[in-house]
Amino acid sequence: SAVISQKPSRDICQRGTSLTIQCQVDSQVTMMFWYRQQPGQSLTLIATANQGSEATYESGFVIDKFPISRPNLTFSTLTVSNMSPEDSSIYLCSVVWQGGQPQHFGDGTRLSIL
């Protein structure tokens, strides 16, 4: 089966800094998404990463805080900017190879902000 690689797997960062998370798929996909899982909670969709254009953000998430790139059909990045302790979460990318088909997730990036 296809592989979804997410890097880094975990990081501890200082308040006010930014971190870029990478998601690499070993085959071309139709859709790529970014989710956040806050401690003890379920997943919330941050945005849809659109290939070659600006991401589509969900309510409560903005581009200045979570800039996203998707330069091609196999790669996307999520940046968490100007981090605060409230950003401590697991960030997960997911992909769909064809609309209406199962969504598959990377292993996530566990982020802690001091």
Partner 1 sequence: KQEVTQIPAALSVPEGENLVLNCSFTDSAIYNLQWFRQDPGKGLTSLLLIQSSQREQTSGRLNASLDKSSGRSTLYIAASQPGDSATYLCAAPIYNTDKLIFGTGTRLQVFP
User: Min. distance of Cβ 71 from partner 1 in angstroms?
Assistant: 21
Nearer to partner 1, 54 or 82 (CB): 54
Q: Which distant-in-sequence residues (6+ apart) come within 8 Å of 60 by Cβ? A: none
Beta strands in 15-88 (DSSP E): 19-25, 31-37, 43-49, 56-57, 68-72, 75-80
User: Min. distance of Cβ 59 from partner 1 in angstroms?
Assistant: 10
Nearer to partner 1, 26 or 107 (CB): 107
**CA 46 to CA 34: how far, in whole Å?**
6
User: Min. distance of Cβ 2 from partner 1 in angstroms?
Assistant: 12
Asked if residues 89 and 39 have their Cβ atoms less than 8 Å apart, the reply is: yes
- What residue ranges bind partner 1 (CB under 8 A)? 6, 31, 33, 41-45, 48, 58, 92, 94, 96, 99-108, 110
Structure token pair of residue 109: 């990036």
Nearer to partner 1, 16 or 99 (CB): 99
